[in-house]
Structure 1
Amino acid sequence: MDSLIEDLDNENESIRSNAMDELVGMGDEKTIGSLVQVVQNENLPLEMRKNAIVSLGKIGDNGTTELFLDISMNESENKHLRMASILALGDLGDEEALESLRELSYGDDGLILYHAAYVLAPLNDIYEVYGTYGELPYPLTEEQRSYRNNVGEIVFGVNFSEFPPIVNSSMTLGHDRKTGYIEVMTDVNPGTSSMDEMYRIISTEAEKRGVYQVPVRFVYGTFSFA
Structure 2
Amino acid sequence: MKFNPTILILCTLLVLLSGCIEDNSADSPINDLEHEDASIRNDAIEKLSQTGDEDTVLSLMQVANNNNNTIEKRKNAIKVLGATGNNRASKLLLNISLDGEEEKTIRMASILALGDIGNVTMLMPLANLSYGDDGLILYHAAYVLDQIGDGENVYASYGKLPYPLSEEQRLYRNNVGEIMDECSLNSSSSIIENATTIMRSYNIKSGYIEISSDIEPEISEMNTIYQIYDKEARKKGINQVPVRFVRCGVATFPVYWYNITDIGDLNATNLYALSDGDVESRVYTPSLTVFTLS
Match 2:79 to one of 33, 42, 54? 54
What amino acid maps onto 1:217 in structure 2?
R
Deviations 1:161-192 (A, max 9, x none): 13234214311011000000001011111111
What amino acid maps onto 1:61 in structure 2?
N
Match of 1:198 in 2: 225
Task: Choose between structure 1 and 2 for higher RCO, CA contacts under 8 A separated by at least 6 residues.
Answer: 1
Alignment pair present for 1:121 and 2:146:
yes
State the distance in 2 between where 1:140 and 1:111 align.
8
Is the 2:150–2:157 Cα contact (8 Å) retained in structure 1? no
Q: Following superposition of structure 1 onto structure 2, how do residues 37-186 of structure 1 map, counting pairs within 5 Å?
A: 37-162=62-187, 163-186=190-213
State the distance in 1 between where 2:124 and 2:52 align.
26
- TM-score normalized with structure 2 length: 0.74
Q: Following superposition of structure 1 onto structure 2, how do residues 25-36 of structure 1 map, counting pairs within 5 Å?
A: 25-36=50-61
State the distance in 1 between where 2:53 and 2:157 align.
40
Question: Considering only aligned residues, what root-mean-square deviation do their CA atoms show, in Å?
Answer: 1.4
Is the 2:143–2:163 Cα contact (8 Å) retained in structure 1? yes
- TM-score normalized with structure 1 length: 0.95
Alignment pair present for 1:14 and 2:39:
yes
State the distance in 2 between where 1:7 and 1:30 align.
17
Structure 1: runs of 5 or more not aligned: none
Match of 2:235 in 1: 208
Match of 1:218 in 2: 245
Q: 1:224 Cα deviation (Å)?
A: 4.3
What amino acid maps onto 2:53 in structure 1?
D
What amino acid maps onto 1:219 in structure 2?
V
Is the 2:158–2:244 Cα contact (8 Å) retained in structure 1? yes
What amino acid maps onto 1:215 in structure 2?
P
Q: Which has the larger displacement, 28-37 or 216-225? A: 216-225
Structure 2: runs of 5 or more not aligned: 1-25, 255-294
Alignment pair present for 1:189 and 2:216:
yes
In structure 2, the CA distance between the partners of 1:123 and 1:129, relative to structure 1 (3 Å rule), is: same
State the distance in 2 between where 1:140 and 1:6 align.
26
Q: 1:218 Cα deviation (Å)?
A: 0.6
Q: Percent identity?
A: 50
Name whichever structure is richer in helix by fraction.
1
State the distance in 2 between where 1:147 and 1:224 align.
26
